[in-house]
Amino acid sequence: MRIFKSLLVVLLLLASTQIFSQLSAPDPEAVYGGRINAISVIQTSGATSRVFISTESANSIFYADFTTAGTPVFSPFGIIPGVGDDDGYGSGIRVMAADENSGFLFFIANNNLYSTHPSSSAVNTIFSVGVSGMTIYSGYLFFTENNHVRWGTIDSSTGAFTEDSYSPITLASAMSSSQIAVNTSNLKVYITDLGTSPMMLYLSSSDYNSFDGSTSFATLSTSSLVGSTQWTGFGCGPDGTIMYNGNYGGGKEVAHSTNGGVSWTNTSTGISGVGGFNFAYQLSGADYIVYFAKCYSTFNTTTKSFGSWVEFGNSGLETHPNDGVVAADPVNPSIVYFTTDQGIGATTNGGGTIFEIDDGVEAVQVKDFDMNAANTDAWLAAKSGVRYVSGYGTSPSWSNAIFPNNDGSPYYSAEMVHDNPFSAYVGNLRIYKTQNRGNSWLQVFTAENAPYNFPGIGLRVEAIEVYQSDSNLVACGYTIGDPAEGDSLQGGFFYSTDGGASWNQQLLKAASGYFDADVNDIVFATEGGNPVAYIGVTYDNTISISSRARSVYRAEWSGSSWSIRNDFDGSYTSAGYPITATIIDLYISQSGDTLLACGTDAGTNHPILYYKILSGTGLWTPFTTTGFPASSGRVAKAVSFGNDTVYCAVDNEIYMMHFGGSSWTNGYSYPVGTEINVLYFDDLLVGTGTGIYAQNNSAVSAVNDDKVIFNNPNHFELAQNYPNPFNPATTITFNLPVEAFVQLKVFNVLGEEVKTLLNDKRVSGRYEITFNADDLPSGLYLYRLQSGSFVQTKKMLLLK
């Protein structure tokens, strides 16, 4: 079952109570990190620095004040009030710069230029539309807007920007991805675009603080740069050397010029990976150290050449650097900040030893989550790696980010094997398995390889599910790209019958080939003694109708082959006709006899929610839409059930309703733009695009030992307890088709009553009762349900 999916996850870990009220405000769990887009640092005193970071999450920008002189102290980050998850600036802020004099931060979002301050929730619009590059130097702000360069001054007290009367200057051509730098050696302004050579590189005729009506920009040559290199970052060294960095053939390249671009020296660093987005520099005697992406080297100012290139952490690391942005501390020349696979890292010795400084960064983009039945251990998949938690119910201990392939790639799915925290599967575009709680990992499958040859770009494992009665039977679901982005390839349903050692594909829709259906979720049930997989898929209206998968497929495993049908065909729906939809999330009840499915209608594109009772009619039946959002463009992303209440997440809202009820209630609304993608039970945890949060119901109406599951069974029934054998607790489920007086008792093999579980009147419904046998010896016991003339008895085995 996919427990956590992209952006928002809700775990409802609820006790045995009948609850129906509003949900409390979120309380963050101590899980920090996330993908970092940009870093800017300013000096705030003789001993302190303020670090700003933008993240790839709805919490757009954070800041922290560090003591960087003497013994460094790295304090937790906090969100800047005006650019949090409810302010709508999004996850794409990649250019920002702080002004040291005023303390204001300037940033580009959606090609608009803004400013804000950590002490205020106000955000000021500096310039709208077309902004691509920006820098700040000594109280002056420069930015590019289409084919114009604009500049002005920043008030040191108020942070207000005043554009110069001579601004703007028109460039020869517009740049969509420009970078701007002030050369501290000659005080000139450089503007460049990025990509492959030849690129546009401009040099101002005036110093940065002397622009006027006569200022112009000359074009410098980049023709001798290696043309096949993808140049991604630009900078000016302290001695005036201008530099580009990029990547070619899987390795990092650097080019530098000491004569204003007349000639360039191209250097291969010998470090693998892609180029960085910028440079950072720290003085080292008469020379200086050059940093970009995950590597650094000393630049000799006499010979004008680089020494050997090495990676961050070459002498000791607690984390893994990646190829993002870098920033030099303005107070301490030994401190450098950089991005890591987990979030943001730092070094206090120039790069040799590195460590994480993520505290407070609520930007972990959770994709999936699986917890054991005891609610003590769990595995989490996120865009910033895999994490493991132990002791959740008492003293949670979260691991740092884990990357099974040491590649820093995002992970989309996680599945624990039969409540054993030591054994788990996780998936990105490949599937990895651990049997020692993450100390080591084995890649067990990828559909990139023959005969499937799925493309690596856009490929992801959205679901991994282990059959509850046989850990050798494992299923996974692949999705390729996104129909909204013009993708036309389909993923597929794959399975293993030997615990992940080997894998095969089972086609759901296609008659042949391998590109079949984009799978969103999988759950296993047991029907007629056989494993049955229910598979939620995407309805892709960008491809031909004959090739479109839809709704939910049912796959029954005979022991040697699968029997496939579309379970939303007319024969299997209460409406009597086929239902065409995208199903995003599936849920199966603890007793294994009730399924829930949510997603979006393929016609009018509104949220949908269905249920199917395997022990009843076996038909997919819609829930009421009263109080449920039905507007076009909204999507039901997650569904779960507990204590007689169905929870469904639609975009940023959680809706609640008693099963069989007549109207939905909005239980909690997250900030607009937050997507809730998964619900999970037993204490409310919420995993979002910004982190993991705990929630609970703000009011409890009654506390009972039994839980109403469904309100409309059509017959009496006493189900087999689960698990069985058990120690010390087990769950007993029964159907009550009418309101009646009910007795549920437990007897030993001598017929002696040992416990009364229920002796009261109950309304119609399907009930779950937890029987705890802590005070009883091992042995065979009988449990009996009696209501009016109906009597049924079953056996259960207690093994201690």
The torsion angles phi and psi of 88, rounded to 5 degrees, stand at: 80, 20
Please give the pLDDT value at position 486.
60
Please give the pLDDT value at position 673.
61
Q: Please report the sign of the dihedral spanned by the C-alpha atoms of residue 159, residue 160, residue 164, residue 170.
A: positive
Give the number of C-alpha atoms closer than 13 A to the C-alpha of residue 409, restricted to the C-beta side. Answer: 21
* Residues 693 and 727 both lie in one domain: no
Q: Is the predicted pLDDT of residue 318 greater than 90, yes or no?
A: no
Confirm whether pTM is higher than 0.85. Answer: no
Do residues 204 and 188 lie in contact, with contact meaning Cβ atoms separated by under 8 Å?
yes
Do residues 336 and 329 lie in contact, with contact meaning Cβ atoms separated by under 8 Å?
yes
- Asked, for residue 128, whether it belongs to a domain, the answer is no
* Residues 666 and 784 both lie in one domain: no
- Asked, for residue 408, whether it belongs to a domain, the answer is yes
Output 545 or 493, whichever has higher pLDDT.
493
* Residues 778 and 688 both lie in one domain: no
Looking at the structure of the chain, the number of domains it has is 2
* Residues 650 and 725 both lie in one domain: no
Residue located via tokens 């491809």: 543
Q: What is the pLDDT of residues 326-365, one digit of tens each?
A: 999 999 999 999 998 888 999 999 999 999 998 888 766 7
Closest to 685 in 3D by CA, of 1, 22, 28 = 28
Q: What is the pLDDT of residues 370-392, one digit of tens each?
A: 888 888 899 988 877 888 989 87
Which whole number is the average pLDDT over 403-424?
90
Do residues 586 and 521 lie in contact, with contact meaning Cβ atoms separated by under 8 Å?
yes
Where a domain ends, among 703, 727, 762?
Answer: 703
Q: Is the predicted pLDDT of residue 781 greater than 60, yes or no?
A: yes
- Asked, for residue 217, whether it belongs to a domain, the answer is no
CA–CA separation, 149 vs 151, rounded Å?
7
- Asked, for residue 270, whether it belongs to a domain, the answer is no
Output 599 or 197, whichever has higher pLDDT.
599
CA–CA separation, 745 vs 670, rounded Å?
44
* Residues 534 and 678 both lie in one domain: yes
Query: Structural domain of residue 720, as residue ranges?
Result: 706-798
Q: Is the predicted pLDDT of residue 679 greater than 80, yes or no?
A: no
Which whole number is the average pLDDT over 737-755?
88
Please give the pLDDT value at position 204.
98
Do residues 301 and 323 lie in contact, with contact meaning Cβ atoms separated by under 8 Å?
no
Size of the chain in residues: 800
Rounded to the nearest 10°, the torsion over CA 540, 545, 546, 552 is 50
Q: Which value, in Å, is the radius of gyration of the alpha carbons in the chain?
A: 30
* Residues 443 and 476 both lie in one domain: yes
Do residues 160 and 153 lie in contact, with contact meaning Cβ atoms separated by under 8 Å?
no
* Residues 666 and 601 both lie in one domain: yes
Please give the pLDDT value at position 688.
47
Longest dimension (CA), the chain: 106
CA end-to-end span of the chain: 30
Which whole number is the average pLDDT over 55-72?
90
At 484 the three-state DSSP class reads helix
- Asked, for residue 450, whether it belongs to a domain, the answer is yes
DSSP state for residue 572 in the 8-state scheme: G
Please give the pLDDT value at position 700.
27
Q: Is the predicted pLDDT of residue 128 greater than 50, yes or no?
A: yes
Angle at 222 between CA 221 and CA 227, to 5 degrees: 150
Closest to 764 in 3D by CA, of 731, 720, 717 = 717
CATH code (residue 768): 2.60.40.1930
Please give the pLDDT value at position 342.
83
The residue type found at 247 is N
Residue 701: Cβ-neighbour burial (10 angstroms; 0-12, 13-18, 19+): exposed
Residue 97's pLDDT band (cuts 50, 70, 90): very high
At 82 the three-state DSSP class reads helix
Lowest mean pLDDT among 595-599, 693-697, 754-758: 693-697
The torsion angles phi and psi of 779, rounded to 5 degrees, stand at: 150, 180
Q: What is the pLDDT of residues 201-231, one digit of tens each?
A: 999 999 999 999 999 999 999 988 988 899 9
- Asked, for residue 679, whether it belongs to a domain, the answer is yes
CATH code (residue 550): 2.130.10.10
Do residues 324 and 54 lie in contact, with contact meaning Cβ atoms separated by under 8 Å?
no
Lowest mean pLDDT among 277-281, 443-447, 566-570, 623-627: 623-627
Q: Is the predicted pLDDT of residue 681 greater than 90, yes or no?
A: no
Closest to 776 in 3D by CA, of 739, 726, 742 = 726
Residue 24: Cβ-neighbour burial (10 angstroms; 0-12, 13-18, 19+): middle
Please give the pLDDT value at position 485.
59
CA–CA separation, 258 vs 269, rounded Å?
19
CA–CA separation, 488 vs 506, rounded Å?
20
Q: Is the predicted pLDDT of residue 85 greater than 90, yes or no?
A: no
* Residues 664 and 735 both lie in one domain: no
Where a domain ends, among 670, 703, 736?
Answer: 703
What is the residue-averaged pLDDT of the chain?
87
- Asked, for residue 632, whether it belongs to a domain, the answer is yes
* Residues 415 and 506 both lie in one domain: yes
Which stretches within 277-321 are classed as H helix? none
DSSP state for residue 63 in the 8-state scheme: E
Residue 7's pLDDT band (cuts 50, 70, 90): very low
- Strand (E) or helix (H) holding 536: strand 530-537
Closest to 526 in 3D by CA, of 468, 477, 578 = 468
CA–CA separation, 437 vs 477, rounded Å?
23
CA–CA separation, 80 vs 59, rounded Å?
9
- Asked, for residue 308, whether it belongs to a domain, the answer is no
* Residues 687 and 718 both lie in one domain: no
Rounded to the nearest 10°, the torsion over CA 181, 183, 188, 190 is -30
Please give the pLDDT value at position 315.
62
Q: What is the pLDDT of residues 707-722, one digit of tens each?
A: 454 455 678 889 888 8
Which whole number is the average pLDDT over 82-103?
90
Percent of the chain as helix, strand, coil, to the nearest 5: 0, 50, 50
Residue 195, Ramachandran bin (φ over 0: left; ψ between -120 and 50: alpha; else beta): left
* Residues 588 and 681 both lie in one domain: yes
List the strands of the sheet with 706-710, edge to edge.
706-710, 765-772, 729-736, 717-718
Please give the pLDDT value at position 8.
38
Q: Is the predicted pLDDT of residue 725 greater than 70, yes or no?
A: yes
Where a domain ends, among 703, 725, 753?
Answer: 703
Percent of the residues in the chain that have a pLDDT greater than 70, as a whole number? 89
Q: What is the pLDDT of residues 476-532, one digit of tens each?
A: 999 998 765 566 799 999 999 999 999 999 999 999 999 999 999 999 999 999 999
CA–CA separation, 550 vs 755, rounded Å?
49
Q: Cα–Cα distances in Å, from 756 out to 729, 746, 776?
A: 15, 6, 14
Q: Is the predicted pLDDT of residue 697 greater than 60, yes or no?
A: no
Which whole number is the average pLDDT over 269-292?
96
Output 66 or 1, whichever has higher pLDDT.
66
Please give the pLDDT value at position 264.
95
Pairing of strands 420-427, 413-417: antiparallel
* Residues 613 and 484 both lie in one domain: yes
